[in-house]
Amino acid sequence: MTKIRFSKEEKDLVIQKVQLYFNDELDQKLGQFDAEFLIDFISEQLGSFYYNRGLFDAQAIIQEKVEHIAEAIYELEKPTAFIK
């Protein structure tokens, strides 16, 4: 798996959200540097779990759509004398 990379703007937004969480929920200040290290740690250690779940969910949706398409195609079939 290739490393997931975020733009500077995306990473800055995530860092701000982590800092806000620490401030609001834990009543602790978390500096930019520490927040970035925390984000890097979470990404490296837990990111694959979330990534794989996303792939699993996408695969389930695609499978469901393929089944609907197969059913729709079957409904379009015209009767013939040929036996399947």
One digit per residue, the tens of pLDDT, for the chain of length 84 reads 677 789 999 999 999 999 999 999 999 999 999 999 999 999 999 999 999 999 999 999 999 999 999 999 999 988 888 876
pLDDT at 1: 66
Hey, what are 2's tokens? 């290739």
Show the tokens assigned to 16. Answer: 């701000």
Whole-number Å distance between alpha carbons of 41 and 14: 13
CA dist 31 and 10 (Å) reads 17
Burial of residue 29 (number of CB atoms within 10 Å: 0-12, 13-18, 19+): exposed
